Amino acid sequence: MRIAYLDGFSGISGDMFLGALVDAGVPFELLQQTVEGLHIGATLEMSRVDRNGISATKIDVVVNGQKDLPREEFWEAETEEPRHAHHEDSNSHDHEVGVKPRHSQGRPLAEILRIIAGAPISEPAKRTASAIFAALGEAEAKVHNVDVEEVHFHEVGAADAIVDIVCSAVGAEALQVERILASPLNVGGGTVKCAHGVMPVPAPATLELLKGVPIYSGEIQKELVTPTGAAIVRTLAAGFGPRPLMTTERIGYGAGTRDFAHHSNVLRLVIGESIEAELSDTSSGEFASNEEIAVLEANLDDLNPQIIGYTAERLMAEGALDVFTTAVQMKKGRPGTLVTVLCERAAASKLRDILFRESSTLGVRSRREQRHVLARRHESVNTPWGEVQIKVGSVNGTDSQAAPEYEDCRHIAAEQNVPLKTVMQEALRLYLDKKNG
């Protein structure tokens, strides 16, 4: 399996990821064409730089003729003008999200998602970019305790982030890998100025995005992981941990803005073939299969339960392995529903589309997990009312699970006017008698 591994020993930002992609072989012209198609007054520039002895690719986003803008925090209270807090400690020129009243200037998430939807890129890349931006907006909304619709991106920051995120989605697709993995992330240290005042690194939105991700602080007392970088890696990476057992075919280095002494401020991207699957112990016969599946999740707190039920039916009809819902408590004390979809990786994009189309969610989380499936077979038993199939699961050749097929039992119960539980109990008894006889 072809995979990519991100070494985040110096954190990650949007432009660092773009630099690593280009350095690893993604055509810079592809990213340039992508930016031109967005029509937001932005362009890309590429250069070779040295970061403590490592030659790396530096990508700069130029917005309305302005290059190398420091990452800024923009916020506005009901009676105040926007405040600009310049970040000289940031790893890149990513821009933080600003929370503003609805009437103030700035791009709301819905507008940005419309820009992405109209971009001349593939549908999978659009879905990936939308998911990254939705994660970014949802993190800021939670930090500020507002609805995601109230989160606005400042004009300059929005353009910069749109370029970083859309190009990241297009570039990741161009790698043609089946899976992206990442190391634990060095978030840096020290403090950062933001709309919340002076805060310790990582910034609040960054830390929210990195929930469940292994992070650490090294010797560099600067912000190394930006909110945009956190959203990108959280969405694209299927898992975080030590470098997997893999070959190395291509290596790319993406440069951060700052040049630290005794520390290479780069993001390393390694492309190669995973050989773990070849060495995994699947010869014992314990499982019929050990496979990787996709898990999709969405939180809903404003949707008619009847529509949720219909959406679940549509997902199952279109190939989901399973769909289930969980009652959850959401912000402001509102009850909500967590929809979880299990599916084959090839079906993930189609099922994600159904979630976006049929539900009210603005973002769908996705990850990959291992699924161990027992060896199974079917046996039949003849009940007084008709034949019933029994599904049997086994471990190492020993039967461990047995259950009557529900549809067989339901059909008999309805036709013969017999309680369903009676049919199921009798079918299982007959199977056990047959097995033990």
**Long-range contacts: 373-381, Cβ < 8 Å, 24+?**
373/287, 373/288, 373/289, 373/290, 373/291, 374/287, 374/288, 374/400, 374/401, 375/285, 375/287, 375/288, 376/288, 378/405, 379/431, 379/434, 381/427, 381/430, 381/431, 381/434
User: Which overall architecture, per CATH, does domain 289-373 show?
Assistant: 2-Layer Sandwich (3.30)
Specify the higher pLDDT residue, 16 or 153. Answer: 16
41: pLDDT strictly greater than 80:
yes
Q: In this structure, what is the dihedral angle of CA atoms 253, 254, 259, 263, given to the nearest 10 degrees? A: -40
pLDDT value for 107: 83
Residue (of 80, 138, 84) closest to 109 by Cα position: 138
| 300-318 average pLDDT score | 92
pLDDT for 194: 72
Q: Which of 81-85, 187-191, 294-298, 391-395 has the lowest mean pLDDT?
A: 81-85
Q: What is the mean pLDDT of the chain?
A: 85
In terms of pLDDT, which residue wins out, 139 or 16? 16
Banded pLDDT at 393 (limits 50, 70, 90) = confident
CA 245 to chain CA centroid, Å, is 23
CA distance 10 to 281: 35
CB 38 within 8 A of CB 301: no
Supply the pLDDT for residue 384. 95
pLDDT band of 169, cuts 50, 70, 90 = very high
| Predicted confidence band of residue 400 (pLDDT cuts 50, 70, 90) | confident
Band (pLDDT 50/70/90 cuts) for residue 289 is: low
Q: What is the structure's pLDDT at 61?
A: 93
- Predicted confidence at residue 389, as pLDDT, reads 92
Residue among 63, 12, 423 at smallest CA distance from 231 = 12
- Residue 388 near residue 418, CB atoms below 8 Å: no
Cβ 61 vs Cβ 163: under 8 Å: yes
Query: Who contacts 126 (Cβ-Cβ below 8 Å, separation ≥6)?
Result: 116, 117, 119, 169
Q: What CATH fold (topology level) applies to the domain 375-436?
A: Ubiquitin-like (UB roll) (3.10.20)
pLDDT of res. 394:
79
The predicted pLDDT at position 96 comes to 44
Whether the pLDDT of residue 416 is over 90: the answer is: yes
pLDDT at 83: 34
pLDDT tens track for 325-336: 999 998 878 899
In this predicted structure, the answer to whether residue 401 has a pLDDT above a threshold of 70 is yes
> Is the pTM for the entire model greater than 0.85?
no
Predicted confidence at residue 430, as pLDDT, reads: 94
The pLDDT assigned to 434 comes to 87
Instruction: Specify the pLDDT at position 395.
Output: 73
- Give the start-to-end residue ranges of the domains of the chain: 2-278, 289-373, 375-436
**pLDDT band at residue 297 using 50, 70 and 90 as cut-offs:** very high
Instruction: Please give the Cα distance from 47 to 40 (Å, whole number).
Output: 22
Give the C-alpha separation, 98 to 155, whole Å.
10
pLDDT value at 84 more than 90 = no
Sequence-ordered list of residues with C-beta below 8 angstroms from that of 191, at least 6 positions apart, any chain: 89, 198, 199, 200, 201
Please state, in angstroms and rounded to a whole number, the distance separating the CA atoms of residues 137 and 108: 9
